[in-house]
Structure 1
Amino acid sequence: MKVATVDGLLTLFYDGSKPLFNDELNDEWWDAHQQHTTKDDWEEWNLSEECREYWRERLTWQQIIIEEGVTEIPEMTFVKCYNIKRVIFANTVIRIEEYAFLTCRSLVFCKFPINLEYIGEFAFFECDLYSVFTPPSCREICQRAFWNCKNLSILNVPQETQLGRCIISGTALAKSSPFQPNANSRGNDDMNTWIKTMNHGEAFALHRACSSFQPLKQVLYNIIEEKGLKAFKEKNSAGITPSQYLNENPYSELTEKEIIHDYVMKLMGEGE
């Protein structure tokens, strides 16, 4: 694995050749061996010097690029890497295991692999993600996967994806829901149904198109042609507009400006 500066960010190129998590970083070890009042004062912990140096190194990483050939991010791999801002996955990754990015508090952007099948429990606990778009291949998102991602407002998942309990507890999206996630009640099932269906119905055709995996220009254009440009500003039950979906969708090669430009040109008789 190598480290280099990419787009102004100190970047770790993760090739999966060795495990990155050290047992001395584990909370259970910390509880058993430390006498401090906070788990963030690790410089004062009774750690080996090798572990101290490694932890300092982990805190320098600002971006993770997962290299081609990696199929799995093992559990706890990047836990407590507080300064990671972006993660870009190779399309060979099919599994993100539990706690993989737990408390990566600066993490604001993930481009998930197009072949992703599984996101483990607490995988992105307390990250700073605003939007999450999972591909059609995603079969399961486990309990509390995005718990306490306070700014998470957009979550787009396939209809077939199995969702665990409380995956969005403590998020802005959860606050927008008419249901409250609860690990021990039917409210959790209602919440998950709402997540999957809040863009269903004729009124939300443009929402579905903009938040879909790799939105198609002709599909968007046909809806705009029928509904007019005002459709870009219509909010769904979570208060999200199609514009926000399109702008935040990392799989989209289209922009709202491009669609509007084509629409106006055709109105003027100058389009295709």
Structure 2
Amino acid sequence: MRVQTEEWQRFIPGVRMYKGKKTLFYNGEALFDENIGQYLIYDRKERETWEVIIVLPGVEVIPFHNFEWCSSLNRVIMADSVRILGNRCFQGCSRLVFVKLSRNLECIVDGAFYNCALTSIFIPPTCHAVGPQAFQGCYKLIILSVPQHTRLGVNVITRTKLLEASPFETLYSEHYPYLRQEADQWIKNINGRDEEEYALHRACLFFTPLEDTIHAIVKRQGLNSFDKPNSIGITPSQYLKENPNTEIKEQKIINQYILDMMGEIVF
């Protein structure tokens, strides 16, 4: 009965302790007034105590500057109703390391995660645009899953580990127009497009990885393929562990591989 009560309470807006973390259950209301430049409902001192934000079903837009400077925030989980992340909505959340985006997200507006602590972000196939500076200053960011059709704005990965690992010394706005196509293609094709060598990397970096596909590749390439680094030093195992959209376990794939091999030997 207690479990049922907890699940029911998840859909009640407001701030409360949930699984040991101070959590805001967000229902879409504006928390910042851009006309007067002031926070609404919750003051800055209160905002600085939030550790988790859960965006409730039905919310479609995270407004302008809504959660900026929430200095204790480390996890954000969005319902699949969210379509738009507004301008600098999570700016300056300096401890934010985990974000699970909506599967129906359409647009990430300018500076949405400016100066956060993200190490990875997986953008859904529904997203058509990522605005300028969306992840600028996320100095730990090294894994960025971006669909081929998604348009990237300027300075998206400026001051990140991903840029440091890239062949580009800088992607500041004054240089970006000359490098735009080359940089965008590099970001989207770190693991190539068709090469067998990085097939497992691509499968594990996909927004929603397919277990059958991963298993088929491992069967072709062997178990060591999980530990093969790509050009920026990331392995398929790391991609799979960082991906918040899957419950696929590497060990399960390994166990199935061993069983398959044993079966081939027996028969």
Matching residue within 128, 147, 155 for 2:144 = 155
- Corresponding residue for residue 10 of structure 1: 22
Which residue in the other structure is 1:181 paired with?
Answer: 171
Matched, 1:192 2:184: yes
* Distance in structure 2 (CA, Å) of the matches to 1:122 and 1:141: 9
Q: Is the 8 A contact 1:119 1:140 kept in 2?
A: yes
Letter in 2 for 1:198: I
TM-score, normalized by length of structure 1? 0.86
Pairing partner for 1:208 from 202, 208, 228: 202
What percent of counterpart residues are identical? 41
Match of 2:156 in 1: 167
Return the alpha-carbon distance in structure 1 between the equivalents of residues 77 and 200 of structure 2: 27
Change (3 A) 1:250 1:53: closer
Secondary structure (helix, strand or coil) at the match of 2:99 reads strand
* CA drift at 1:5: 1.2
Match of 2:103 in 1: 114
Q: Secondary structure at the match of 1:226?
A: helix
Structure 1 residues 173 and 131 mapped into 2: Cα distance closer, same or farther (>3 Å)?
A: same
The C-alpha deviation readout for 1:113-171, integer Å capped at 9, x for no partner, is 00001001110011000110011111100111000101001000100000011101000
Return the offset for 1:255.
1.2
Q: Does 1:94 align with 2:94?
A: no
The alpha-carbon deviation at position 213 of structure 1 amounts to 2.2
Give the counterpart of 2:32 among 12, 15, 21: 21
Partner of 2:262: 268
The 5 Å alignment of 1:200-239 reads 200=192, 201-239=195-233
Asked whether the equivalents of residues 118 and 140 of structure 2 are also in contact (C-alpha less than 8 Å), the reply is: yes
**AA paired with 2:91?**
L
Map residues 121-140 of structure 1 onto 2, 5 A cutoff. Answer: 121-140=110-129
Q: Give the 3 Å change call, closer, same or farther, for CA 53–220 of structure 1 in structure 2.
A: closer
Distance in 2 separating the partners of 1:197 and 1:121: 23
Bigger shift: residues 122-131 or 260-269 = 260-269
Give the drift of 1:187.
Answer: 2.6
TM-score under structure 2 normalisation? 0.88
* 2:235 maps to amino acid: T
CA positional deviation for 1:88: 0.4
CA distance in 2, matches of 1:114, 1:23: 28
Query: Structure 1: where are the runs of 5+ without partners?
Result: 30-49
- CA change 1:242–1:25 in 2 (3 A) is farther
Aligned residues: 248
Cα contact 1:166–1:188 (8 A) shared by 2: no
